[in-house]
Structure 1
Amino acid sequence: MSVLTSEAFGVETTREESRRIRRRSLGLLRSLLRPVAGAAWATAALVVGSQLAAVAGPALVAYGIDQALPALTAGDAQPITLATAAYLAAALLGGLLTAATVRASARVSQTMLLDLRRRVFRHTQRLSLEFHETYTSGRIISRQTSDVDALRELLDGGVTTLASGVLAMLFTAVSLVLLDWRSGLVLLIAVVPGVVLTRWFQVRSQVQYRKQRTAAARLIVRFVETMTGIRAVQAFRREPQVGGVYGGLAEDYRETNARSIRLNGVFDTGLTLIGNVTVAAVLLVGGLRALDGALEVGVLVAAVLYARRFFNPLQQIGMFYNSFQSATAALEKVASLLAEEPTVPEPLHPARLVHARGDVRFEDVEFGYGTGPTVLPQIDLHVPAGQSIALVGETGAGKSTIAKLLARFYDVRAGAVRLDGLDLREIDPVDLRRAVVMVTQEAYLFSGSVGANIALGKPEATPAEIEAAARAVGVHDLIVSMPDGYATEVDKRGVRLSAGQRQLVSFARAFLADPALLILDEATSSLDVPGEALVQLGLQTLLAGRTSVVIAHRLSTVMGSDRVLVIEGGRIVEDGSPDALVAAGGRFADLHTDWQRSLRRST
């Protein structure tokens, strides 16, 4: 009994989850449609007009054959002239309305897609670091590219195709029934196998197209990850293995596409067969009645034209379902991304921090990543304004975690981190980012000039201020030696600069930002010995007069700090000046001894 109850509960949970996903997707679609509702209704009116114009053609042909031609033989040319003019006018009007529909539909769809792309980009920027550390870049790129493209295919022509197809079938059926109900009955009977075939296609294409979207996403993610890590791939000669994995994913994608094409082929062939049989049946039944004089020849011709016209939209509707399934899956993924909430929310009533001093306090801080185990069991720490502290310890001890909490990339589970007496969770985000700057090991440079990358710390900076910042950290001479000086372009991630040069540029960026609290997380790890010697002078200028937290394995960087904290298991086990800790003979003294020994060996 308990097993059955559990299974029933699981089914109910799955259904509720499906309903929740559907409501979320529809909510996103409604929010995208709301700003273009007027234009969408105007497009719908154009669709109705174009289909009414198109459906008038066979009826005018029937009138021309059965009424206008006999009148012409009797010497009256007015009916045939009117029928011809009306047919040409309907054809011209239908063409103009169809062209207007395409343009109006494109304006609506492109406006919606522009809104969606902006939303995805703004939202992913707003999400916290925790999200970006768990949600791969390949998946985000897939949301912005393949998923939005799937929606584009649906909105650009799919919706108008569906509306046009449904209206065309409805108007055609009504017109044929009004013209000759017996021929209309034959047509309606033929609809049954057409609907059955369409439903068969829909059920199978739904599964197939979800597989296709999944295979496409996996292929994109693998490609992005490989290109991002291409240095590691080439360094370890993993090209054949990586190529084999990618080839397997590409083959899976090819096979899913092939199955979709085969499925489409069966559907197209079956629908064409049903349409041809229907036309033959209408022609046979109507022809026999025409021979007996029970049906006019013009009505028979119109009935055949309507029968031929009826099944073309059904094929379009079936094909629309493919785009619809693909777009539905894409909409669910995009809506899921937009439903992600920042784990570091902005304060409801932000407190201003106009003139930050840099006084830092950790009060009974407890922290762990997500729902994982506690990383920092309890931290109590006071860093007076202007003091420079260094955090040392083994990898995984919690040093970088402390730095991330200081920068408010994460929020604490318990306790509080305060800057100048204010809880970081209450400070205005703009003021916090102005007061706290973190320089990491990566030293990311964006595409653009060297000067523009330095100015990232202060976008309104003048060229003189940018140069002063570069001089302060000792990177000016390097920059002016480049082909275009400060205007020298760097590639993505700054690949035209060495790792040490990129780090120096990031120091200049931090100096220009002039924060009250500066965090250096392994910021000197990319420097070679000459580069380290060069940057030490720059660091003295960079750290002077401001609170700083330095995380470094190189004790040459640590020894210049006012205070050293040794972190072990998320706890502070030693705290004091570098000289005092060396004299005390503890863990830091051991690190200092090892460092001195390595220096003697290098000389």
Structure 2
Amino acid sequence: MSTPENDHLTRTESREVRARSLALLRNLLRPHSRPLAWSAVLVVASTAGQVAGPALVATTIDHAIPALDDGRQGPLVVYGILLVVAAVVAGLANGAYVRAAATISQAVLLELRRRVFRQTQRLSLEFHETYTSGRIISRQTSDLEALRELLDGGLTGVVANLLTMTFTAVGLALVDWRSAVILSAAMVPAWLLTRWFQRRSQVYYRQQRTASARLIVKFVETMTGMRAVQAFRREPSTERDYERYADEYRKANLNTFSLNGRYQPGLILIGNLTVVVALAYGGSRALHGELAVGVLVAALLYVKRFFAPIQQIGMFYNGFQSATAALEKLSALLAEEPTVVAPAHPVPLPAARGDVRLDHVTFRYPRGPVVLPDLDLHIPAGQTVALVGTTGAGKSTLAKLVTRFYDATSGAVRLDDIDIRDLAGTDLRRAVVMVTQEAYLFSGSVRENIALGRPDASQAEIEAAARAVGAHDFITAMPDGYDTDVNKRGGRVSSGQRQLLSFARAFLANPAVLVLDEATSSLDIPGERLVQRGLKTLLAGRTAIIIAHRLSTVSGADRVLVMEHGRVVEDGTPAELVAADGHYARLHTAWQDSLV
């Protein structure tokens, strides 16, 4: 049940969100203060030129045309020239204003795109494991598109429309204050209708944004997991889910269109009725000689012109609501802080030896149970250690701590007796490299993928790395050799070949510590044998932590650690643990039986 305290908290949080969003917008606009000031000058000049038209028409009708009867053509020529000048000034200023505003908006959007991309790369692994890729894509696409629409046309248009309404009202009051009173009375129903429209559009457009985000997330998740969808024949159910989200999005759009369909005609009706009243009252006064005909024409032009900006401002409110919601989401993303923080005063590590120590490390994931209760472990430089154990034993968590994707809750992870939290990111990434079972390959050439860790590597160094792990032969057999585009996720190579390319990448990076997280778990027997040969070369002379379920990968290790519930329950060489007849011995026996 909602309580006053909860409501107050919600209002407070809402104010904080709005303040954060406005602060982001101000920060983005601050570098463009001078162009914004120039845009303001241009929009004032454009609006003044437009609003001057009816007043010049009134003067032309009431003074310049009667002067023709006296044989004086000068006033008509002068006012005609003034009308042309006003129109030209309005047109040129408006064009320059639109271009200036577009330049500012595109610069702001470019900076915001850079910030969002930079932020998503800066944030820690914890964020990316909880924040879905669909939501990230929604921030970069639909949310930025909503802001683009606001900045490109909506914001510039609303400023011009507000000035047009103000100048029009002032012009009408100066020409005929009685007509201005009629316009003021008509503003009451127009304002009530606009407020009704704004309240409902705020709800409908937030529903539309939510439905749009859900639709994008569902589409991205389905495309990303297409293999699982097709493998488990989930196409009908995913299609039903997608159709449901698409139908929700359709209904949300229909609600906004229906709302617009009532607001616009209502405003047009109020405007037309106001013109009718102004014409009837002004015409009566003109017939009795109380109002000049030119003034009547000018008053009608002003009244008619006044309501068009109201409609556009009302429509702007829709885009404003959409952009506000988008800005709130973007500001929330940019306000996220990485949980793994770079040291203020990093300790240099020019040449790592590879000595790894976990000093009474405790770790728990956010809002989760303790995974590593108290792990005290030393891995000497150059030693190959294999981690085995059931799923959830803490093996991958240990790897994430050594690579500093996460920080220990308590205790310390040390590399060469230096707490890795005190190492600069570049030094740590140069010294410690992880190879996962996914062996992700980016779109681009084979050469670019191998050189990922060392973009400045020469062709000879890249080929040497490929030869060392046994990848050179299949690379040269590809259509363009090292220049072959592997496509997204390595579409042109097999799983074993993709893993060998990741080994070549790691070999070229030449880390002191190499972490292999299930690097062969997805391979068949021939593929595993291919990778095993490359693995021997890759592990030589460096510290290695191997996480594997397959004991064929473990057999070449100097040392095996059996983990259960975040603790090391067995520690020794493979031969020692087989002879000990413990957990590892049972795993080894089961593996031997599987080979038979």
Q: Residue 63 of structure 1 aligns with which residue?
A: 59
Pairs within 5 Å for 1:88-103:
88-103=84-99
Q: How far, CA to CA, are the matches of 1:130 and 1:19 in structure 2?
A: 28
Q: How far, CA to CA, are the matches of 2:160 and 2:492 in structure 1?
A: 54
Question: Structure 2: which amino acid aligns with 1:235?
Answer: A
State the secondary structure of the residue aligned to 1:489: coil
State the secondary structure of the residue aligned to 1:526: coil
Q: How far, CA to CA, are the matches of 1:591 and 1:370 in structure 2?
A: 32
Q: Residue 159 of structure 1 aligns with which residue?
A: 155
1:548 aligns with 2:547: no
CA positional deviation for 1:98: 0.7
Q: How far, CA to CA, are the matches of 1:453 and 1:130 in structure 2?
A: 25
Q: Residue 471 of structure 1 aligns with which residue?
A: 467
Aligned partner (choices 541, 559, 575) of residue 563 of structure 1 = 559
Question: Structure 1: which amino acid aligns with 2:526?
Answer: P
CA positional deviation for 1:152: 0.4
Q: How far, CA to CA, are the matches of 1:333 and 1:258 in structure 2?
A: 24
Q: How far, CA to CA, are the matches of 1:323 and 1:385 in structure 2?
A: 60
Contact 1:472 1:541 in 2 (8 A): yes
Contact 2:496 2:530 in 1 (8 A): no
Question: Structure 2: which amino acid aligns with 1:214?
Answer: T
Question: Structure 1: which amino acid aligns with 2:497?
Answer: Q
State the secondary structure of the residue aligned to 2:316: helix
Aligned partner (choices 251, 255, 258) of residue 255 of structure 1 = 251
State the secondary structure of the residue aligned to 1:439: strand
Q: Residue 201 of structure 1 aligns with which residue?
A: 197
CA positional deviation for 1:540: 1.1
State the secondary structure of the residue aligned to 2:306: helix
Aligned partner (choices 418, 422, 425) of residue 422 of structure 1 = 418
Q: How far, CA to CA, are the matches of 2:87 and 2:324 in structure 1?
A: 35
1:127 aligns with 2:93: no
Stretches (4+) displaced over 3 A: none
Contact 2:496 2:531 in 1 (8 A): no
Q: Residue 487 of structure 2 aligns with which residue?
A: 491
Q: How far, CA to CA, are the matches of 2:23 and 2:495 in structure 1?
A: 46
Q: Residue 438 of structure 2 aligns with which residue?
A: 442
TM-score by length of structure 1 reads 0.98
State the secondary structure of the residue aligned to 2:164: helix
Pairs within 5 Å for 1:255-334:
255-334=251-330
Question: Structure 2: which amino acid aligns with 1:345?
Answer: V
Question: Structure 2: which amino acid aligns with 1:219?
Answer: L
Q: How far, CA to CA, are the matches of 1:538 and 1:233 in structure 2?
A: 33
Q: Residue 448 of structure 2 aligns with which residue?
A: 452
Residue deviations 1:494-538 (CA, integer Å, cap 9, x gap):
122122211111010000000000000000112221222222221
State the secondary structure of the residue aligned to 2:457: coil
Contact 2:387 2:548 in 1 (8 A): yes
Contact 2:372 2:394 in 1 (8 A): yes
Aligned partner (choices 490, 495, 502) of residue 498 of structure 2 = 502
TM-score by length of structure 2 reads 0.99
State the secondary structure of the residue aligned to 1:434: helix
Q: Residue 14 of structure 2 aligns with which residue?
A: 18
Residue deviations 1:361-409 (CA, integer Å, cap 9, x gap):
0011000111211000010000011111000001111100000000000
Q: How far, CA to CA, are the matches of 1:346 and 1:189 in structure 2?
A: 63
Q: How far, CA to CA, are the matches of 1:245 and 1:473 in structure 2?
A: 45
1:27 aligns with 2:26: no
State the secondary structure of the residue aligned to 2:451: helix
Q: Taking every aligned residue pair, what percent have the same amino acid on both sides?
A: 65
Q: How far, CA to CA, are the matches of 2:192 and 2:590 in structure 1?
A: 79
CA positional deviation for 1:554: 1.1
1:336 aligns with 2:332: yes
Q: How far, CA to CA, are the matches of 1:531 and 1:465 in structure 2?
A: 25
CA positional deviation for 1:310: 0.3
Q: Residue 362 of structure 2 aligns with which residue?
A: 366
Question: Structure 2: which amino acid aligns with 1:320?
Answer: F
State the secondary structure of the residue aligned to 1:553: coil
Worse-matched range after superposition: 530-539 or 567-576: 530-539
Which consecutive residues of structure 1, in runs of 5 or more, have no partner in the other structure?
none
Contact 2:205 2:322 in 1 (8 A): yes
Residue deviations 1:448-490 (CA, integer Å, cap 9, x gap):
0111100102110011111000000001101011111111111
Question: Structure 2: which amino acid aligns with 1:395?
Answer: T
Question: Structure 2: which amino acid aligns with 1:220?
Answer: I
State the secondary structure of the residue aligned to 1:448: coil
State the secondary structure of the residue aligned to 1:347: coil
CA positional deviation for 1:15: 1.4
Residue deviations 1:70-112 (CA, integer Å, cap 9, x gap):
1012100000001111101111110111110110010000000
State the secondary structure of the residue aligned to 1:573: strand
Q: How far, CA to CA, are the matches of 2:219 and 2:588 in structure 1?
A: 44
CA positional deviation for 1:351: 1.0
Q: Residue 346 of structure 2 aligns with which residue?
A: 350
Q: How far, CA to CA, are the matches of 1:394 and 1:236 in structure 2?
A: 25
Q: How far, CA to CA, are the matches of 1:484 and 1:86 in structure 2?
A: 70
1:407 aligns with 2:413: no
Contact 2:499 2:531 in 1 (8 A): no
Q: How far, CA to CA, are the matches of 1:226 and 1:197 in structure 2?
A: 43
Question: Structure 1: which amino acid aligns with 2:226?
Answer: I
Residue deviations 1:25-72 (CA, integer Å, cap 9, x gap):
011111101111111111111111100000000000000000000101
State the secondary structure of the residue aligned to 1:251: helix
Aligned partner (choices 47, 52, 64) of residue 48 of structure 2 = 52
CA positional deviation for 1:314: 0.3
Q: How far, CA to CA, are the matches of 1:298 and 1:543 in structure 2?
A: 94
Q: Residue 38 of structure 1 aligns with which residue?
A: 34
Q: How far, CA to CA, are the matches of 2:497 and 2:207 in structure 1?
A: 46
Question: Structure 2: which amino acid aligns with 1:201?
Answer: F
Contact 1:53 1:93 in 2 (8 A): yes
Q: How far, CA to CA, are the matches of 2:117 and 2:168 in structure 1?
A: 45
Question: Structure 2: which amino acid aligns with 1:509?
Answer: R
State the secondary structure of the residue aligned to 2:75: helix
CA positional deviation for 1:8: 2.0
Aligned partner (choices 452, 461, 482) of residue 478 of structure 2 = 482
Residue deviations 1:413-472 (CA, integer Å, cap 9, x gap):
110000001111111111000000000011110000111100102110011111000000
Q: How far, CA to CA, are the matches of 2:524 and 2:496 in structure 1?
A: 7
Contact 2:499 2:519 in 1 (8 A): yes
Residue deviations 1:155-200 (CA, integer Å, cap 9, x gap):
0011111111111011000001011100111111111111111111
Contact 1:503 1:526 in 2 (8 A): no
Aligned partner (choices 386, 389, 401) of residue 390 of structure 1 = 386
CA positional deviation for 1:233: 1.2
State the secondary structure of the residue aligned to 1:519: strand
State the secondary structure of the residue aligned to 1:265: helix
State the secondary structure of the residue aligned to 1:307: helix
Contact 2:60 2:76 in 1 (8 A): yes
